Amino acid sequence: MSGLSPARVRLALLALALGGFGIGTTEFVVMGLLDNVARDLLPALYASSHEDAVAQTGWLITAYALGVVVGAPTIAALSARFPRKQLLLWLLVAFTLATVLSAVLPTFELVLVARFVAGLPHGAYFGIATLVAASLMGEGKRGRGVAIVLSGLTIANVVGVPIITLLGQQAGWRVAYLAVASIFALTFVAVALAVPLQPGDPKATLKRELRAFGRSQVWLALLTGAIGFGGFFAVYSYVSPVVTQVTGQSESFVPIALVVIGLGMTLGNLVGGRAADHNVMGTIFVCFGLFVVALASFALTAHTTAGLLISLFVVGGAASALSPAVQSRLMDVAGDSQTLAAAANHAALNLGNSLGAYLGGVTIAAGLGYLSPAIVGLLLCVPGIGLALFSVVLQRRRPIRL
């Protein structure tokens, strides 16, 4: 973006990434507090069946993800013509209020609704923020711009999620969510001060944005991302009980496992962003290959501490590297429906989140054990690879026309 100093660009990108940090924290912190939330909101079920209570508490993960699926395309399609900075600020207000409600509502059912509402602005924020970042970075650095915004989400898994998980374990899960709400409030101030004004697309209409869904390559990219992240969340959603029930570590070890996943995600995101600038589809295939190896390792070695940590690091890295590659692919194939496509990617990823958390919970509730979600992840890799291959074959037969 012309007229901005490098320092101003860095500050703007940092502000956008801080929003990703808050989103990553609000989305993932419940995964380390499943036991705590289940014990508080479902006391009778927790007393009679620990596994059933944990599996039902996993619905909070599913509800947030479904909120993303509903909100991302809806908000993006309706708001593409609005100034991007102002829209980001309104989305941050929505995040703050919904996260406060998650912390204070008294019953499981009401908290479930609050988590759904908290997910609504997720995809639109990331979609708009990545477009702003790509504009700030300039030509040839699009993947890195996307990765910088997403780095907030991955760093949240290194710093925010473990610290706030520890806070939740010590002071209660409700205090943890209030801490997350404060991150969104801080992000509002940072975006207001650091991000330059950037107009929306005055030619954008609902009809034009929805045109993206008429492109087969857009659907293939969205489904590839959804299935890839479905496998990741099948495992990630139930890290807490794996650490305590399978590996045999204490509850205090859960934040350490989350830090390891976060380190893998942070490295994977940075590598994936740079790789996507050189070869988008090649990056997607490599990510799926690493993912298969990591999931198989997790299923076979998570009963040992070393096996658990190594496999979780690679699982996080492979999944996170996939995200900027899929986002870049969507920018390549979406034509002039960029806002909707960018947001729809996060809807797809969170559809995978919802699917993975749900299927992982089903296998656990069926008595197949806390490692069974890794098998779910492996099974999901098969159609993910198949969709990516079909996309390449289709493009060779029918080159993309934008």
Bigger pLDDT: 73 vs 243: 243
| 108-131: average pLDDT | 88
Does the pLDDT at position 1 exceed 50?
A: no
What pLDDT shows up at residue 99? 94
254: exposed, middle or buried (C-beta count within 10 Å: 0-12, 13-18, 19+)?
buried
Instruction: Please give the Cα distance from 249 to 242 (Å, whole number).
Output: 9
| 360-369: average pLDDT | 86
Bigger pLDDT: 289 vs 352: 289
Quickly state the pLDDT bin for 312 (edges 50, 70, 90).
very high
Quickly state the pLDDT bin for 118 (edges 50, 70, 90).
very high
Bigger pLDDT: 320 vs 340: 320
Quickly state the pLDDT bin for 212 (edges 50, 70, 90).
low
What are 16-56's pLDDT values in tens digits? Answer: 999 989 998 988 788 778 888 888 888 888 788 877 888 78
Alpha carbon distance, N-terminus to C-terminus of the chain: 24
Quickly state the pLDDT bin for 304 (edges 50, 70, 90).
very high
In a domain, 236, yes or no: yes
In one-letter notation, the amino acid at residue 21 is: F
In a domain, 215, yes or no: yes
| 374-398: average pLDDT | 84
Mean pLDDT of the chain: 83
What pLDDT shows up at residue 254? 84
Q: Which domain holds residue 103?
A: 6-397
Give percent of the chain above pLDDT 70: 90
What pLDDT shows up at residue 52? 81
In a domain, 402, yes or no: no
Q: Residue 229 belongs to a domain with what CATH number? A: 1.20.1250.20
Bigger pLDDT: 347 vs 70: 70
Q: Whose CA is closest to 347, among 218, 180, 185, 239?
A: 218
Quickly state the pLDDT bin for 184 (edges 50, 70, 90).
very high
Does the pLDDT at position 236 exceed 90?
A: no
50-57 vs 338-365: helix axis angle to the nearest 10?
170
In a domain, 132, yes or no: yes
* Number of independent structural domains in the chain: 1
In a domain, 238, yes or no: yes
In a domain, 146, yes or no: yes
Quickly state the pLDDT bin for 399 (edges 50, 70, 90).
low
In a domain, 16, yes or no: yes
In a domain, 351, yes or no: yes
Does the pLDDT at position 100 exceed 70?
A: yes
